Structures are given as C-alpha cells and as structure tokens.
Structure 1
Amino acid sequence: MMKRLFIFLFIFSVLTLTAQNKKSYKIELKIKGVEDSVLYLANYYGDKTFLVDTTVRKGKNNYLFEGKKHLDGGIYIIVGQEKNTIFEFLISDSQHLKFDSDMKNLIEEMKVKGSNENSLFFDYLAHSNIQFKQLKSYQHQIKNLNHNNDSIAILNKKIEELNSDIVDYKEAIIEAYPKAFISHFFLAMKSPETNKSIIISKEDSILAFKNYKKHYWDYMDFNDDRLIRTPVFHNKLEYYFNAVAHPAPDSLIKEIDAFLNRLDEKSKLYEYSLWHLTLKFDQSHRMGYDAILVHFANNYYAKGKAPWLNAEVLKNILTEAKKRSNSLIGKKGPNLVMQNLDLSPISMYSIDKNYTILYFWSPKCGHCKVETPKLLEFYKQNKEKMDLEVFAVCADTNMQAMRTYIDEHKLNWINVNGPRSYTQNFHELYNVYSTPFIFVLDKNKTIIAKQIKSNQLFDFISNYEKIKQNKK
C-alpha cells in the first residue's frame, strides 16, 4: 500500500494541473451488472443530497455524465432508478473521471482513471471492507461465547488491532497527501484523543471533557469549502451543539459566536452554519431559546453578515426577533394595565408577591379548558405556600363570555380583559398570539419562565427557590 502511495505522490501534481485546465466535467461509468436505464448524479450539501445531473444508458453498462461547468468539490453519489446508492466518489483533483467495475465486487474491483484521489479513496474502501468483514466475524464469535470465556479478551484485542489498522491506513494517506481533499476529509472525521486509562475520578472526567471540547475542531480545515459537500461537517456541527456545548441559552450564544468567528464570512461553511444554527434553535421548543434568534438577528442579520439571504426572509427574521425581544427570559416583563370584571383598571405591577403567574387564556379555547382547571388546582394548593398570584388575561373581547366562564369555574385569582387595556397591545408586548400561554415572573417582575405548563409550575418554582438559596 505504501509503495502505491509514493508512486501516486509523484504524479499527483501533474494530475492536478491537468484538471485545472479543463472547465467542464466528464464522468464515464462502465459498471457491469447495473440494469438501470437511467442513473443520477447527486452531491451532499450539509445533511441533504441534491440532484446534479441525469444520464441514460449508452450501450451495455456504459453511462456518461458531462457538463460545461466545473462541479463544486466534495463527495458525489451515483444513484440508481430506485434511489439506491451505487457508489460514492470524490470531486477534487480532477473533473474528468472514468470508473470501471462489476456490481458483484464493486469496490474491490473498481478501476479509476483520471483521479489520483479517487484511486486512493477506493483502495481505502476496499481495504476497510476486508477489515470490517473480519471484525464482524470476531464480533459474532464473541456473541456466541460465555461471558467468562478467556477467548473474549483475545478477540477484543484483535478487533482493536483491526480498528487501529484502518486508522493507520487513513493516517498514511494524510501524511503522504497533506493538501489533498481526501486528507482534509479523513481529518475532518477524526475526534480529539482521550486517554480513558487516566480517567479515575470525577475531576479526571471533567478535565478530559474540557480537553475534548477545547480540541473538538482541531482537525477540521475551515478553509476548505468542499467539506460542506460531505456528511462529515454537518454531523460534527450537530454533535457539538447537541452534546458538547452547554444547552443554556446564554452559553449557546457564546458558543455560537466563538464557532462562527472561526469561519470566513464569505465561505460556504459560514453561510451553511449561520443558517443551519438559526433554524435549529428557532425550531427548538426549549424554554429561553427565543433569545438565540434575537441574538442572531441583532448581531448577524441586522449587520449585513448574511448578504446571500433573500430580502423578504431577512425582513421576516428581523420582524420576528423584534416581536420576541420584549418578553425574553431575564428581562423585566412589560406592565399590563387592564379592566377587571368591574371595569376597573388593574396593574400587574401592583401585585406584591414573590411570584406572578401571567396566564393568557380564552373561554372558547379548547386547550385552555384543559389547562385552566390544572392551573386553578395549583393555585389553590400553592398560593400561600409559594407566595404567588395569578394575573389571568382573557384574550376574548366578549366580557359576558369571560364573566360566565369565571363564575362557573370559580376562578378567584386576578382576572382582566386583554382587549380592554390601558397599556400597549398585549400581543405585541408578550408576543402571544395563541392560548393558553403561561409566564412566570419573580418579585421584581423579571421573566423567569415562559411557555410552561401548569403541571410543571410546582417543580420549576421549587427548584428556582433552591437555586436562590444556594446563591446566598
């Protein structure tokens, strides 16, 4: 294998220069055993794949994809009529490629012309296939042995050696071709090394995690936009923000800024990351994550850091962020002054309790008919114990319907009518356009929770009290 690596090393620069002089792409396939009359060429982009080209069979087993414009670098896929992947390959050092093989042994018999990197890629895949077959054999043997059998340790050692061999194979390619896309791709797949043998205490585990996090992106070449057209970049991005970064909104905002600062704002990696993270956290239902969209809007979109974005979409993001900005967790909730059942003005700020439960509801709302009795039960049991009050804002304009529902269900908390307001429209102040909707405010009327359910209130306030006590 190493001999072949060094032979390719000498011809690599020649192949690269040749490819650069061609402004078109031409991909010829001769795959024995493929029965499809039509094949598709697709490429990865983040976590998705997109159709690039289509071709029909030309004679027996022959197919040709060609175009007058270079393909963007990355991993491409030959796809059958049934949307089945036939094989994957690289667009990197050449745009004029020939692949010749047999479906009976597709990878091992693959012959590549015109691309050094694809020859290396298929050599690696063939080698890995052999090792994986052996690995599965060892795993099957272990499964059929008694757990006390001494052979298990021997087989596990062999499995470890096989895994090491696959890693060493990739490392040899990386060492021989440090500037090649295949090396960038293999490096991007690597994770920071953790020495599990030294993890004994909880402190060791924490230090190991911090080191893992610190070096998580070490092997990713952020200057190579071709990595966006592989599944690796998206998967690493997702894992980092799902499992490595702390999930608290403030922490995530810092992590997002630190990550995006690594990227060139003109790169496709930056474009993809900014948009993907915007959608990811905007679509999350976790409490407080609306602050992340506001941060994106104020610090990226409003500052012209997404020039590629459609003007209408940009406008929608900025408008939505403005709506959310008044009622973020950690902000003081805007005061509401509204008429009660006696048509007298009642101010939410007049409530002198440790906690205010701000409840938006409607007598016609089906979900409210489920939520209101639960909130009432919580209120009866914890009003005195937790020193709280409910400020219930009815969103319905019909005062009679509001009065009837309150009387029938004996809602003896503070009841006001939202449309009969002396302050700004409550929809805009609290970004509430559906009911039921619950906010929790502390003694200073700072918002400490939102979009919370009645059956979660007891645990939330109890835990909040414990945190307050621990800070003293």
Structure 2
Amino acid sequence: MRSTITLALFVISLLPGFSQDGYSYKFKINGLADTTIKMANFYGARQYYNDTAYVNSKGEFEFTGKEEMKPGGIYSVIMPDKKSYLQVVIAENSFYIEADKDDLMNSVKIKNSPENEAFYEYMRKMNSLQPKLQQLAEQKQQETSKKKKKKLQEQIDETADELKSFRDDFVTNNKDLFIAKVMKASIEPKVPEEVKNSSDSTAQYKYYKKHYFDNIDMTDDRMLRTPILHQKLDYYLQKVVPQIPDSICAAAKRMTDLTGNDSNLIYKYVVQHVTNTYEKSKIMGMDGVFVCMAEQYYMKGKAFWIDSTQYAELEESYTKRRRQIIGVTAENIILPDTGGTWHSMYDIKAPYTVLVFWDPNCGHCKKELPKLQKFYEEHKDNGVEMFGVSTELKNGDLKKFLDKKNITFLNVSDTPEINENAVKYIRSGKTTLNSLNFRDYWDIFSTPQIFLLDENKEIIAKRITSEQLPDIINSHRENESINIKAKGQTR
C-alpha cells in the first residue's frame, strides 16, 4: 500500500500546475491557448526576460521553481503579441490570477495574493483619475474664456487632490505590503511652510535635496526590480544635484550609504550605474565622476562583483583618466624641436597654453593645424602660447609640413634615436620617462587632441577643437574676474 501511495504522489507531482515545494504562480488568460508566454522583470531602467511557460488549451500556465520565491519586485507577464502584458507583484510564494486577453486590466481576478489585490486596486483608481486630469488639462489649454479656465483649474486641483489623497491613504492602509513601499517611493518630500517662507532663497531646494530619499527604502533590493527606483536615482543625479563631478560623486556616496550594506544589490547598482554613465559621458569634465567612483569603490576593494580581469581593465582606464581630469596639473613634456633644441612645456610663461598632439600624416590634423596657426596669430599677443607635440616618430614629415603650412608656433617630437637611448637621456636630466611615453601617458588614441592649460599648467579644457578655444578662454577669463571680485568683497 505504501508503495502505491508513493507512486501516486510521484505521478501527481508531474502534472501541470502542481507544486509541492518552492514558488508557484498560476495564471489563466481566457482567449489564449496552446502557446508560450514569457515573464520579464524590471532591473533598474530596463526589463529582462526572466522565465517562460507553456499555455495549455484552457489558457492555463504556471511559473514555478524550487526556490522559496522569485526575487521580489514588479514583473510583467508578456502576451504572445509582445505588445500587451499583465503586471504582477512578486512578494509571495504563490498566487492565482485570471484575466481576459482582450481586457487584461479590468478583467483581473486574483486569489491568494493581498499584494496583487492592492496593486490592482491602486492601478484601477489611477487609471480612472489620470485620464480625467489629462482631459481637463487639454480643455483648459483650448479654452479662451478666463472664467471657464478658472473653473477647469478648480476641477484639475480637485482631481489632483483626490488622486493624492487616495495614494496617501493607500500607502498608510497597506503599510505592511511591499507594493505600498513602491508607491510611497513615488511621493515627493513635502516642504514645510516655514521653509517655503524662509528669507533664504535656497531653503526649499536644500530641504528638498536633504529629504529626497525620505520615502525610498534603499535597503530593500526588491525596489531595484520596479520601474520606480531607477527613475528616482536618475532624477536626483541629473536634476537635483549640481552638475559638478565632486557633487555627483558625493551624491553617489550618499546613495550607497543609504543602502546600509555594501553587499546590497542596490549598492552594486548605484556604483555600477554612476561609474558606467560617467565613464561614457560626452560632457567635458564629467569623466571626473568616473575617476572619483573608481577611487572610492573599485580601487579600495569595495566592488565585490568584479573579477581580476575586469579590475585590471578598469584600473588601466582609471590610471589614464585621472591624469587628465579638469583641474589637475598637466604632466610636463620635455622634447626637442625639429632643430634638436630641447623645450620644456613648463618653461612657457603665459596665462594660457594650448597643448596639441598631432600627426603630420593625419588628414584631420592637416586641416586643423592651419586653423590653430591662425588662432595663434590672433591671440599670441593676448596671453596665449602654443605647444605642439608630433606623434610621428620620424620627424622628416613634420619639418616638411611645418615649412609648407608656415606653422610658426613651437612644435616638438621624439625620435627613434632618443627612444633607443632613453635611459641616457633620462639619467642626464634631459627629459623624463613620461615625456618619452607621452602617447600612453596622455592616452593619445587619435589625433589631433587639443588641451587648454592655465598659467599654472592646470587643465581647463580637453579634447576640444580649434573653433572652441576662443569661447572657452573668454569664459574662463570672465569666471576668473568674477572670482577675484568675490574674494575682494569677502575681505
């Protein structure tokens, strides 16, 4: 008898929809049959396919596994047309959801899931109020009568208050549910009246910035699998925080501190997202954020997820970039001109030095160098000097190009002979190792590369064009003038 029972249980466990252990999420979509369906989960800004299930002839399917439950968050059950989907909250290890294919939102029936019951209550209310708000706003925009406009604005305010009250009540009444935590994260910090009435014009901003994360639980990794968290993080970084590398890096540290644990997935996401975003940034100077993040987390062994190969690649990128961030003192370059006379870039005494790396056989350089010569002629009497460095080892073509194009500003280069006898030249004090290794040290992966340095040889701008130089110099002069006046006033 015992063997018969054991066999029967084994057979039953193989039947579709039966799960003895782990999680079981069962669905029935009326109107679907004999097809496959996918589940996707949010992770930061994107959704990723997570699972696949077979839909039987009755529209039934199940996502099941041996784990206690899928990682918590908001998931999408994507219909075969890949356009329509059913969103579900994963915060329990089992539930049953039924819906009609052609009316997924309004036809949903839920069993054994307080999370999803609350979620769909919330979404249905929002779906009834938000279109109403939009319709009223459109009517107001088209209305010409001031009286009717005022009436419409009153209706907009009433509807917005109703929506806000419902959301606040929802969060309060469902405070033990994960979905309430998600909806709470969308609530903006409320600035007190005394702050609004402050004589300090920046008081509201300071309060908002300080309390921005009050409603967001940065310790709960499930938040990463919702559409809310990434939006909040990005808005904070791009709109709330001043767009200065130091401020952005400090903001990233604040966010990682809020996770409470450097093994937290949100901690990992913040570090990766900020680092990768600013490593790829096209905005001049923002690679300073990458340098700061690398120093703060990766170089200190606080990035548990990277292996030795990834670390080596990041360290190489960090080493090159930190030498060129805006505000650092540029490394000196000591090389000879085409006549064999040695020159040190540090010997140039001028308010501004334009450092350009170029190749006489580079097509773009052939167009850019005459422009730089014209710029030099127009600005050399106004505190601007030039220091050209040729990347071509044999300087025969360099001489020809300089003579042909009548380039008069200082140009230097290394030679095969100098590099073959590098030790001799370095030991004698004629040059330095970094001068001879300038291609790698300055990360010259293409030419021309133009840098603008101030009188102390600090980098003001980098990887710019000749056309940008006048505006950048003028802007820098104006800022310097403002800073001098400000210092005088504080005295």
TM-score, normalised relative to structure 2:
0.86
Is the radius of gyration larger for structure 1 or structure 2? 2
Q: 1:398 is matched with which residue?
A: 394
Q: 1:303 is matched with which residue?
A: 300
Change (3 A) 1:251 1:128: closer
Q: Secondary structure of 2:258's match? A: coil
Quote the Cα distance in structure 1 between the aligned partners of 2:49 and 2:341: 64
Q: 1:407 is matched with which residue?
A: 403
Identity %: 31
List structure 1 runs of 4+ shifted beyond 4 angstroms. 194-201, 418-421
Preserved contact between residue 55 and residue 64 of structure 1 (Cα < 8 Å): yes
Change (3 A) 1:154 1:73: same
Distance apart, 1:83 and its partner CA: 2.4
| Higher deviation after alignment, 309-318 or 274-283 | 309-318
Equivalent position to 2:463, from 426, 434, 451? 451
Q: 1:142 is matched with which residue?
A: 140
Quote the Cα distance in structure 2 between the aligned partners of 1:336 and 1:152: 68
Give the letter for the 1:406 counterpart.
L
| Higher deviation after alignment, 334-343 or 257-266 | 257-266
Give the letter for the 1:125 counterpart.
M
Q: Secondary structure of 1:358's match? A: strand
Preserved contact between residue 32 and residue 55 of structure 2 (Cα < 8 Å): no
Distance apart, 1:189 and its partner CA: 1.0
Q: 2:276 is matched with which residue?
A: 279
Quote the Cα distance in structure 2 between the aligned partners of 1:34 and 1:377: 72
Q: 1:99 is matched with which residue?
A: 97
Q: 1:18 is matched with which residue?
A: none
Quote the Cα distance in structure 2 between the aligned partners of 1:170 and 1:36: 39
| Higher deviation after alignment, 337-346 or 131-140 | 131-140
Give yes or no for the alignment of 1:237 onto 2:254: no
Distance apart, 1:35 and its partner CA: 6.3
Quote the Cα distance in structure 1 between the aligned partners of 2:33 and 2:45: 29
Give yes or no for the alignment of 1:312 onto 2:309: yes
Change (3 A) 1:262 1:180: same
Query: Which consecutive unaligned segments of at least 5 residues does structure 1 have?
Result: 1-20
Instruction: Describe the superposition over 1:142-169 as per-residue Cα deviations: whole angstroms up to 9, x where unpaired.
Output: 34432x2422222222222222222222
Q: 2:451 is matched with which residue?
A: 439
Note the aligned Cα RMSD (angstroms): 2.3
| Higher deviation after alignment, 405-414 or 256-265 | 256-265
Give the letter for the 2:353 counterpart.
T
Query: Which consecutive unaligned segments of at least 5 residues does structure 2 have?
Result: 1-18, 420-430, 485-491
Q: 1:164 is matched with which residue?
A: 161
Q: Secondary structure of 1:100's match? A: strand
Preserved contact between residue 22 and residue 95 of structure 1 (Cα < 8 Å): no
Preserved contact between residue 24 and residue 66 of structure 1 (Cα < 8 Å): yes
Instruction: Describe the superposition over 1:168-212 as per-residue Cα deviations: whole angstroms up to 9, x where unpaired.
Output: 2222221122232111101111112357999799x7653222222
Change (3 A) 1:445 1:136: closer
TM-score, normalised relative to structure 1:
0.89
Change (3 A) 1:261 1:337: same
Equivalent position to 1:45, from 43, 46, 50? 43
Matches within 5 A, 1:46-445: 46-69=44-67, 70-92=69-91, 94-146=92-144, 148-194=145-191, 206-263=202-259, 264-385=261-382, 387-419=383-415, 422-423=431-432, 424=434, 425-445=437-457
Give the letter for the 2:459 counterpart.
I
Larger RCO (CA within 8 A; separation ≥ 6): 1
Preserved contact between residue 358 and residue 438 of structure 1 (Cα < 8 Å): yes
Preserved contact between residue 58 and residue 64 of structure 1 (Cα < 8 Å): no
Q: Matched residue pairs, number?
A: 448
Distance apart, 1:22 and its partner CA: 8.2
